[in-house]
Structure 1
Amino acid sequence: MQVVQDRLDDLGTPLAEVTFVVVDLETTGGSVRDCGITEIGAVKVRGGEVLGELQSFVNPGVPIPAFIQSLTGITDAMVRDAPRTGTAVAGFLEFAKGAVLVAHNAGFDIGFLKAACAAHDLRWPGSQVVDTVRLARQVVSRDEVSNHKLGTLARHFGAATTPDHRALHDARATVDVLHGLIGRLGSVGVDTLEELGSYSCKVSDAQRRKRHLADGLPQAPGVYVFFGEHDEPLYVGTSVDIRTRVRSYFTASEQRRRMSEMVALAVRVTPIVCATTLEAQVRELRLIAEHKPRYNRRSRNPERVWWLKLTDEAFPRLSIVRSVGGDDLAYAGPFGSRGRAEEAMAALHDAVPLRQCLTRISPRKPTSACALAQMGRCAAPCTGAVTVDEYAETVADAARVLLGDSRNAVAAARERMRTLSEGERFEEAAALRDRLASLVRGASRNQRAAPVREAVEIVAGRRAPRGGWDLVCVRHGRLAGSTHSPAGADPMPYVAALRASAEVVPAPTGPGTSALPDETELVLRWLEAEGTRLVHVDGAWTCPVGGAAAAHQELAPALGWAS
């Protein structure tokens, strides 16, 4: 868990070091399905120098239409003894091996080449393709040229060859157009192949010039923080490759308007390399909670949650609160909004006849019954109809739903939804389903998290995609440390070092006191993921058999919630 400094060379392949093969085809028509190739022309260039040329007529196996003969000057007689399509395309692929392909209106030429490969059992190499039409539309405005046809651009850039619908001539003209476009782009800081492939005029020059902020950032997993001119955090993010991700903010791959605003304000980026993906997620959450960066929308206030609890009094009731303690009777949550908590409260009232009045009731001073008591939806302790001990049985039923066994409440709600649906009261059934979903979600979160919060220590490992093991140490629901054991190494010394160096976390006095609830949720998801192995547990990590997790898993997909 440390900030790392500059390492590795700058990301990207300089355009001067890229080998381009500029290709042009002449065909019998415009349809890939019904037409064939009559000529292939290609020019191989690197660093502005021509390395080689290829020109080949192709026998398409079908007559060339008179119009095409007139347009290109290529006749049936000229292609009669030429190589057939498969042979000619195979020769081109060998010529272009390892190069970036360039074409003007690349979809046309590349489409014919791919179709030929499929028809003649040739493997398409998957080369990167640069389309000079797309680039020209980004770089050359209509104030400069009337259109973006090859002939127009060749004249505009002073090409040495005039395109005339012959493949090699058109490829030579496209080379000059490509060099002209690269020269334009170089003036705004586009000097790598990666930037060329993602270039868009929608990215301002000022935003693109900010790419130097990524210089020297580590090509490693972790967290990155954009800072403004007053050293205020603007945005916090995570990535498996910090430098690659930060550079993407200065290219067309970043489409969010607020990110463009953020980049315009940013003056530096600080990386924090993390040993595991879980550490990166947790650090991101903590930094956002601490600094509340203006351009982060998610998790800016993870501490602002709601809980549903049973009050501690002679005749307990449900209450929605901002925090709960270890001495509360029972509770569920956290809920992301008060509305969700209110839905959960309504669902529990549907299942258990708890009182809903807000006044404190004395067992020695009965009062008149409220409307809910008259409707049979309340045990009516206010009237003296039940004793404290009798009402405690109702409270115990509610506590069981919140803490360990929601099966009866879920079954009753499902039966009620079935009855409503049979009566074609679908809106009421849907509302009941939503209330039930909020209840089981809140109860499930607490039932899953409580044992992990109470556990003194959990050490777990998971095989890492890069090889070796990702190891984490969790204490009272908080990520206390993480490390990576390299491939081929004995992980147990790393486990011992992790346990010895991990943060000391005191026992919680309630949820949210040792770790933010969202952090404990991140930890739980990591621990529950397939392939995770427990190394050491000091405590009891369990979940009630009849708890709300199963019902939540069932209802979540229908509501579009994460399970």
Structure 2
Amino acid sequence: MKHSWQPALSEVGRPLIETTFVVVDLETTGGSHRDSAITEIGAVKIKGGETVSEFQTLVNPDSPIPAFITVLTGITDAMVIEAPKIGEALFSFLEFAGSPNETVLIAHNAPFDVGFLRAAAEKCGVNWPSFQVIDTAKIARYVVTRDEAPNCKLSTLAQFFGAETNPDHRALSDARATVDVFHGILDRLGSFGVTTLDDLKSFSNRITEAQRSKRFLAEGLPNSPGVYIFKDAQDQPLYIGTTRNLRNRVRSYFTAAETRKRILDMVALAQTLNYIETPTILEAEIRELRLIAEKQPRFNRRSKFQEKAVWVKLTQEGFPRLVSVRGNHDLNDDDGWCGPFNGRDEAARAIEAVYEVTQIRQCSPRITLRSMKTASPCALFDMKRCGAPCVGKESIDSYSTHVLTTRLALQQDANQLIKTINNRMFNLANQERFEEAAELRNRLSAFIRGTARGQRIRSLTRVRELITALPTSVGEWEFILIRFGRLCGSASGNASNYKEVVESLKLVGEVVTETEGILPASTHEEVEVLLRYLNQEDIRLVEISGEWSMPTFGSGYARLKLEQVRENSQNLIYKEDFANSFDRTAQRSTN
């Protein structure tokens, strides 16, 4: 007699082909449900790979729609004035979605959309149904490589998967695009044996065979700060990292908590693990930076090419001009410079900010007496934005005033430049020329970040020797020795013997000889790590040789205000687009 057994549906999980999904997308007045409101809801109900029905409604947010949101979405105050309020719209959507026992919600960057819907339900006194939620952005990170798509934005994935609908920041269009992205993801997941809803939900949490078999690499590690180095069969570094607790951090690579595809690929190749124990986490971070720059491990992304950072400088010629360069070897304090920048585009925006307020020349040819005879002035001369030194209409002495103004703005006093651009930006905004105002804002922001960054870096690299102390959580103190912006040693001790610790540090610390240039002994990344460390509230200055100071009227204060505006404006960042936009009130706070 043959026996057969068929598992219940609850035991094998709900098949994806039999699951009803509602793909939802929202448009809102801002980025946080705490102080923003929904302006549109769009949703598509799908089952078995087919569209069942669609839902779309505008929503009256009971507040004005910010101008940059209108530019982004096309939704105006006039369009929503007659639209239903959120209570009515939410009720209609929930009715469309159906029972949470039958329906699974899907959204791209689900915490954003579902967070707004939950907040709206709470505001309306409605119990939010316990929907299961699938985030297509999260799953895409595991099935689409960076080589295939540079990021997991909806627009990028829609193009990659060949979506029939292009996302355009309208709720229904974006929901339709998300449907196509979801189906594209499911096609890829089929090869992983993902056929049920439970498979889909747990896909990103599964442990690979490589993770399981390589757990021995985490054995015998200390519970202390340090640097760890994964190596391949040829003893070549694959990945270098740093941590406060070597044992716990390395063990995490072999658990379900590690879901990054790049790192899982690295674990599969890893054969050995080396580590360097350090007295402080700061020393571990600095050692990591130096090792990454030296060893160039293939799975590290950051800090591999520190020497290729982009800077801006004034050229050394009769009529200097601003250029962006890679590397800091040719930079010195006698010539104007600033940076580093996050790429040539940001450097170009900073240069354009200087062009807004000075008549420094924008052309690239070297000017000589011979070239003046054949050159002709460009349109900038007619616009009174250049004195045309290229044709001899401006002497070297006269042109030097522009150079002095530029050097002053780059390294010492940027107030006049910032004030001038701010005024122009406000005037454009008042004329509702928002795109031009936004471009000015981007140029000014790039200039402030680049100049402030350079001024902070140079302030520390001028200091001959600096020793600090920081209290630790175990009742001790950690002491740091810095010379010309380079970490030369660290140690731990207690208050009773701090003098001996400091003297020992000075004796055994790395000897650094001052050289010419703005970074005489380290890289800009190392200096910035040290600056972040020194910015902690509990830091104590023990000894200093030399002067540690910043320009009184430099860009540091403006950058502080800019960061405050950006922090306060995070709630206005619109979903994945990250439109780094100040509202007018925030802009005025930079004055």
* Superposed pair shares fold, TM > 0.5: yes
What's 1:416 paired with? Answer: 424
| Paired residues for 1:222-237 under 5 Å | 222-237=226-241
Question: Does structure 2 retain, via aligned residues, the 8 Å contact 1:310–1:328?
Answer: no
Aligned partner of 1:245: which letter? R
The C-alpha deviation readout for 1:475-529, integer Å capped at 9, x for no partner, is: 111111111114x532111011011111111213223452011101111111222
Of 356, 360, 364, 1:354 maps to 360
Question: Does structure 2 retain, via aligned residues, the 8 Å contact 1:457–1:476?
Answer: yes
Once residues 414 and 501 of structure 1 are traced to their aligned partners in structure 2, the CA distance between those partners, rounded to angstroms, is 51
Question: Does structure 2 retain, via aligned residues, the 8 Å contact 1:453–1:508?
Answer: no
Shift of 1:304: 1.1
Structure 2: gaps (5+ residues): 1-201, 571-579, 581-591
Once residues 352 and 525 of structure 1 are traced to their aligned partners in structure 2, the CA distance between those partners, rounded to angstroms, is 33
Question: Does structure 2 retain, via aligned residues, the 8 Å contact 1:456–1:539?
Answer: yes
Once residues 255 and 246 of structure 1 are traced to their aligned partners in structure 2, the CA distance between those partners, rounded to angstroms, is 14
Counterpart of 1:466 in 2: which secondary structure?
A: coil
Aligned partner of 2:474: which letter? R
What's 2:443 paired with? Answer: 435
Shift of 1:333: 0.8
What's 1:459 paired with? Answer: 467
Question: Does structure 1 retain, via aligned residues, the 8 Å contact 2:491–2:505?
Answer: yes
Counterpart of 2:377 in 1: which secondary structure?
A: coil
Question: Does structure 1 retain, via aligned residues, the 8 Å contact 2:459–2:550?
Answer: yes
Of 311, 320, 324, 1:320 maps to 324
Shift of 1:277: 1.8
Query: RMSD of aligned C-alpha atoms?
Result: 2.2
What's 2:55 paired with? Answer: none
Question: Does structure 2 retain, via aligned residues, the 8 Å contact 1:311–1:328?
Answer: no
Once residues 291 and 379 of structure 1 are traced to their aligned partners in structure 2, the CA distance between those partners, rounded to angstroms, is 50
Shift of 1:386: 2.7
Question: Does structure 2 retain, via aligned residues, the 8 Å contact 1:325–1:509?
Answer: no
Aligned partner of 1:262: which letter? M
Question: Does structure 1 retain, via aligned residues, the 8 Å contact 2:279–2:491?
Answer: yes
Of 425, 430, 455, 2:433 maps to 425
Of 534, 537, 549, 2:541 maps to 534
What's 2:388 paired with? Answer: 380
Question: Does structure 2 retain, via aligned residues, the 8 Å contact 1:363–1:388?
Answer: no
Once residues 445 and 239 of structure 1 are traced to their aligned partners in structure 2, the CA distance between those partners, rounded to angstroms, is 26
Structure 1 pair 422–363 and aligned structure 2 pair: CA distance change class (3 A): farther
Structure 1 pair 200–305 and aligned structure 2 pair: CA distance change class (3 A): closer
Structure 1 pair 200–310 and aligned structure 2 pair: CA distance change class (3 A): closer
| Paired residues for 1:55-74 under 5 Å | none
Shift of 1:379: 2.5
Shift of 1:557: 5.0
Question: Does structure 2 retain, via aligned residues, the 8 Å contact 1:511–1:517?
Answer: no
In terms of mean alpha carbon deviation, does 528-537 or 498-507 score higher?
Answer: 528-537
Please tell me whether residue 448 in structure 1 is matched to residue 456 in structure 2: yes
Question: Does structure 1 retain, via aligned residues, the 8 Å contact 2:333–2:518?
Answer: no
Counterpart of 1:303 in 2: which secondary structure?
A: helix
What's 1:519 paired with? Answer: 526
Structure 1 pair 363–543 and aligned structure 2 pair: CA distance change class (3 A): farther
Counterpart of 2:271 in 1: which secondary structure?
A: strand
| Paired residues for 1:274-285 under 5 Å | 274-285=278-289
Please tell me whether residue 310 in structure 1 is matched to residue 318 in structure 2: no
Structure 1 pair 262–362 and aligned structure 2 pair: CA distance change class (3 A): same
Question: Does structure 1 retain, via aligned residues, the 8 Å contact 2:315–2:322?
Answer: yes
Question: Does structure 1 retain, via aligned residues, the 8 Å contact 2:489–2:505?
Answer: yes
Counterpart of 2:290 in 1: which secondary structure?
A: helix
Question: Does structure 2 retain, via aligned residues, the 8 Å contact 1:218–1:271?
Answer: no
Structure 1 pair 200–517 and aligned structure 2 pair: CA distance change class (3 A): closer
| Paired residues for 1:400-415 under 5 Å | 400-415=408-423
Counterpart of 2:308 in 1: which secondary structure?
A: coil
Shift of 1:328: 5.0
| Paired residues for 1:495-510 under 5 Å | 495-510=502-517
* Total equivalences in the alignment: 364
Aligned partner of 1:510: which letter? G
Aligned partner of 1:468: which letter? E
Please tell me whether residue 552 in structure 1 is matched to residue 559 in structure 2: yes
The C-alpha deviation readout for 1:5-61, integer Å capped at 9, x for no partner, is: xxxxxxxxxxxxxxxxxxxxxxxxxxxxxxxxxxxxxxxxxxxxxxxxxxxxxxxxx
Structure 1 pair 363–459 and aligned structure 2 pair: CA distance change class (3 A): farther
Shift of 1:206: 3.6
Aligned partner of 2:269: which letter? L
| Paired residues for 1:321-336 under 5 Å | 321-322=325-326, 323=328, 324-326=330-332, 328-336=334-342
Once residues 274 and 465 of structure 1 are traced to their aligned partners in structure 2, the CA distance between those partners, rounded to angstroms, is 17
Aligned partner of 1:495: which letter? V
Question: Does structure 1 retain, via aligned residues, the 8 Å contact 2:470–2:477?
Answer: yes
| Paired residues for 1:264-303 under 5 Å | 264-303=268-307
What's 1:252 paired with? Answer: 256
What's 2:168 paired with? Answer: none
Once residues 204 and 394 of structure 2 are traced to their aligned partners in structure 1, the CA distance between those partners, rounded to angstroms, is 73
What's 1:337 paired with? Answer: 343
The C-alpha deviation readout for 1:345-389, integer Å capped at 9, x for no partner, is: 111111211011112223684643211111111122223333222
In terms of mean alpha carbon deviation, does 360-369 or 534-543 score higher?
Answer: 360-369
Please tell me whether residue 217 in structure 1 is matched to residue 221 in structure 2: yes
What's 2:399 paired with? Answer: 391
Once residues 204 and 308 of structure 2 are traced to their aligned partners in structure 1, the CA distance between those partners, rounded to angstroms, is 40
Question: Does structure 2 retain, via aligned residues, the 8 Å contact 1:317–1:354?
Answer: yes
Structure 1 pair 270–343 and aligned structure 2 pair: CA distance change class (3 A): same
The structure with the larger Rg is 1
Aligned partner of 2:300: which letter? N
Relative to the length of structure 2, the TM-score reads: 0.59
Structure 1: gaps (5+ residues): 1-197
Once residues 474 and 359 of structure 1 are traced to their aligned partners in structure 2, the CA distance between those partners, rounded to angstroms, is 43
Once residues 279 and 473 of structure 2 are traced to their aligned partners in structure 1, the CA distance between those partners, rounded to angstroms, is 13
Counterpart of 2:482 in 1: which secondary structure?
A: strand
What's 1:52 paired with? Answer: none
Aligned partner of 1:296: which letter? N
Please tell me whether residue 489 in structure 1 is matched to residue 496 in structure 2: yes
Question: Does structure 2 retain, via aligned residues, the 8 Å contact 1:482–1:498?
Answer: yes
Once residues 501 and 262 of structure 1 are traced to their aligned partners in structure 2, the CA distance between those partners, rounded to angstroms, is 37
Question: Does structure 1 retain, via aligned residues, the 8 Å contact 2:311–2:341?
Answer: yes
Counterpart of 2:460 in 1: which secondary structure?
A: helix
Structure 1 pair 328–321 and aligned structure 2 pair: CA distance change class (3 A): farther
Structure 1 pair 339–548 and aligned structure 2 pair: CA distance change class (3 A): same
In terms of mean alpha carbon deviation, does 437-446 or 551-560 score higher?
Answer: 551-560
What's 1:202 paired with? Answer: 206
Aligned partner of 1:547: which letter? G
Question: Does structure 2 retain, via aligned residues, the 8 Å contact 1:363–1:387?
Answer: no
What's 1:243 paired with? Answer: 247
Structure 1 pair 526–383 and aligned structure 2 pair: CA distance change class (3 A): same
What's 2:75 paired with? Answer: none
The C-alpha deviation readout for 1:517-563, integer Å capped at 9, x for no partner, is: 1101111111222121111111110001110111112223555799x
What's 1:479 paired with? Answer: 487
**Displaced runs of 4+ in structure 1, greater than 4 A?**
198-201, 363-367, 557-562
The C-alpha deviation readout for 1:55-92, integer Å capped at 9, x for no partner, is: xxxxxxxxxxxxxxxxxxxxxxxxxxxxxxxxxxxxxx
Once residues 394 and 425 of structure 2 are traced to their aligned partners in structure 1, the CA distance between those partners, rounded to angstroms, is 30
The C-alpha deviation readout for 1:324-350, integer Å capped at 9, x for no partner, is: 332651100112311111111111111
Relative to the length of structure 1, the TM-score reads: 0.62
Aligned partner of 1:540: which letter? E
Aligned partner of 1:411: which letter? K
The C-alpha deviation readout for 1:363-416, integer Å capped at 9, x for no partner, is: 684643211111111122223333222211111110011111000000011001
